Amino acid sequence: MSYAIEGIAYDTRTDALTALVANWVSAGGENDIEEIKSALHDSDTPAEIIREWGGEIGTGEASADEEELRTHILTHKADIIMAT
């Protein structure tokens, strides 16, 4: 199965969620490590991603919800930082 974030295909839901969060952080203008970490530590970040990006990770795929995004950010922070 393949997941898509902004037209780029990812093999796993985990990779797609990492890209979703990284794209959201980048779109917010965070461009240094401290700004990125600050955005990821913000407890409102998952809700903002859902509001702005809809949590969409591909046609026909279930959207990510706040809890899934919150858990993903907590457990994959290093991967998200590397992806931004």
pLDDT in tens, 30-79: 888 999 999 999 999 999 999 998 888 887 888 999 999 999 999 999 99
Residue 19 is predicted with a pLDDT of 94
Residue 28 is predicted with a pLDDT of 87
How does 41-77 read in b/e, with b if 16+ C-beta sit within 10 Å? eeeebbeebbeebebbbbeeeeebebebbbebbeebb
pLDDT digits (tens, 9 = 90+) for 5-26: 888 899 999 999 999 999 999 9
